[in-house]
Amino acid sequence: MGLDFDHYRLILFGGHFLSFILEICLFLLISNRILTELMGKLFEINQLHNQKEILSFYGININLFSSRRFRFSMIFQLAFTAWIGFLLLIDGCVFHVARLSSNDSCPSSMSDCFLLETSREYPKVSCAPNEIFSNSTSINAICFVFIYNEQDTLSVLNQLGVCSSVSSLFCYVFKIACRMSRKRWGLTLLVLLLLGSSAFVITAFIIVKMNISAPTKLILIGLCCLLINVIQLLQFTHSYKRKNRVQATNFLTKICF
C-alpha cells in the first residue's frame, strides 16, 4: 500500500470524522414523524396520546418542535449510535487496524506495519502474512490492512450481528443512564464512570503503545459521549421544567390581575 504512519492516521481519523458529520446531516434531514418513531422504538421516548409534538422523556413532557436543544441532543444520540455500528462494520469487513505484540501472527493479507517505539517516529517493519511477528527493537507494532477481499456472506452477516448488538447495547445503556441520572446516587455514579472512562481513553490515545484494539477504543469513546449527552440532558430538563413553571406562574398572574 505504501503509505506512512501519519498518512494512515490522517485517513483513519479523517474518515471517522467525515462519516460522523454525514450521519448527523442524515438525521437532521429526516422528517419529524420518522424521528419520533426512532426515538420511541430505540429509546422508549414516546408521544403523548393525541399530541404528536409532545414527547414523554422519562416522565418529563417536552415539545420536540419548540426545543431545538432537545431535538439536536436526540439526533446526536441516534447518529452516534449508528456511527459506532458503522465503524465496527468497516473495521471488521473493509479496513482493519491490528495491534501486534511479540509472537503474535501477522495479518493474513498484505499489510503496512509500523513499530510503536518510545519516540514519535514509527518506522515501517516487514510483517509477512501469517508469519510470527518478532522484532529486536520493539515488542509492539500496528498494522493497517484492507480485508474486504477476505469476506464472504457468512463473515459479513456475523459482523452485522456484532454491530447491531453493540448499537442495541448503547440504546439500552442510554435508557438506563437517563433513569439513573434522576437519582442523586445515580448521577454521582455516572459522573465517576465518565471521569474514569475519559481518563482511560485519553491515556490510550496519548500512549500509542498501549495494546488496545480499535473497536475497544470506539466503544469507550461512545460510552463517554453517551454519558456527556445524558448529563447535559439532565441539566436541560431541569431548566425546561423551571421555565415552564415560570411561564405558568406568569399566566396565572395575568388571569388573576
pLDDT at 47: 77
pLDDT at 78 over 60: yes
pLDDT at 119: 60
Lowest mean pLDDT among 24-33, 90-99, 120-129, 235-244: 235-244
Q: Name the average pLDDT for the chain.
A: 82
Q: Which of 170, 183, 141, 185 is nearest to 229 (CA)?
A: 170
Q: Would you kindly state where each structural domain of the chain is located, as residue ranges?
A: 5-94+147-244
Region for residue 112 given its phi and psi (left: phi exceeds 0; alpha: psi -120 to 50; beta: otherwise): beta
Question: Which tens digit of pLDDT belongs to each residue from 202-254?
Answer: 887 766 556 677 778 888 888 899 999 999 998 888 877 776 654 445 444 55
- Cell numbers standing for residue 107: 495479518
Over pLDDT 90: what percentage of the chain? 20
Structure pTM?
0.81
Which of 57-66, 122-131, 141-150 shows the highest mean pLDDT?
Answer: 141-150
pLDDT at 63: 81
pLDDT at 134 over 60: yes
pLDDT at 256 over 80: no
Over pLDDT 70: what percentage of the chain? 85
pLDDT at 21: 92
